[in-house]
Structure 1
């Protein structure tokens, strides 16, 4: 038709990526995974004072098959690591992870054999949220940062390459964790 030459480069695809990014960003369904004291702050974030419904996240899923965001709140023990990975594997694509609190991010003050030194050894993490425990306002800030990341995410091979690298890093240590948990 000749219309392609008259449009600016990438006009149609960029518009589609932005529309899909906007839709994904406003319909994230979290699978809450509260393991320790950070879970209390996570529950407070869902209350009326902080109102996660503003972000399209009022529906917390009890099943991983209906969720696309895992919020790991608290320390992850070696025994719980394979369970966290199994839940992550059952989540719908595309999926994201927030490591909430210093224990989920780096093991925190529990530098021993029983606690995984960062959930990124098990699953790829998109946003790290520091604090012990982090306040609900900090979780909302992390969610806003994740929304920016989701909205600006590329399609196809670019996201696949990024996920492949994160998976490779996480899977390097997962067999060691599973051996320690008795598998």
Structure 2
């Protein structure tokens, strides 16, 4: 019974999980700003979860650090199919200021998990993050509907 209720709700909404792989947390602050009344993420049917097992979209922030090289793949594997990854900010795309000679930052994140969309900026604006989620999220819902048949 509980699974069927969950399936009904998930058919019409996008569930995201913020995954910080290291960095300054600037992009995380912008992602959390999406929950404020100004952007009101939930009006678009987008809900934030702390558990990747509940997510359709993984919002990847920060540069991939030494500790996250293996963990990122593990978190990605826990998300249900179909899953979408959105790289938020410059760090998951290039390592940005953290990608120094002899450092322990690995870029791009697409070397570890497939990245479906990227939002550039340091940090990007909440409206740009929202646009990226709305651009790729409905595809995850459509793909989920095809898998159930």
TM-score range, shorter chain: 0.7 to 0.9
Could you list the structure 1 runs, at least 4 aligned residues long, displaced by more than 6 angstroms after superposition. none
- 2:131 matches 1:145: no
Aligned residue in 2 for 1:94:
82
Match of 1:65 among 47, 53, 64: 53
Match of 2:38 among 38, 49, 67: 49
- Aligned residue for 1:29, secondary structure, equals strand
Q: 1:87 to 1:151 in 2, by over 3 A?
A: closer
For structure 2, which runs of at least 5 residues remain unmatched after alignment? 1-9
Q: 1:153 to 1:106 in 2, by over 3 A?
A: farther
After TM superposition, list the pairs within 5 Å mapping 1:89-128 onto structure 2.
89-112=77-100, 113-128=103-118
For structure 1, which runs of at least 5 residues remain unmatched after alignment? 1-22, 157-183
Equivalent residues, number:
132
Match of 1:136 among 108, 113, 126: 126
Q: 1:41 to 1:88 in 2, by over 3 A?
A: same
Q: 1:44 to 1:82 in 2, by over 3 A?
A: same
* Structure ranking higher in helix proportion: 1
Q: 1:147 to 1:67 in 2, by over 3 A?
A: closer
Q: 1:30 to 1:82 in 2, by over 3 A?
A: same
Contact 1:42–1:73, Cα closer than 8 Å, also in 2: no
* Structure ranking higher in strand proportion: 2
Q: 1:141 to 1:101 in 2, by over 3 A?
A: same
Aligned residue in 1 for 2:17:
31
Larger relative contact order, structure 1 or 2 (CA cutoff 8 Å, min sep 6): 2
- Aligned residue for 2:130, secondary structure, equals helix
- Aligned residue for 2:13, secondary structure, equals coil
Query: CA separation in 1, counterparts of 2:118 and 2:139?
Result: 13
Q: Which structure has the greater CA radius of gyration?
A: 1
Aligned residue in 2 for 1:5:
none
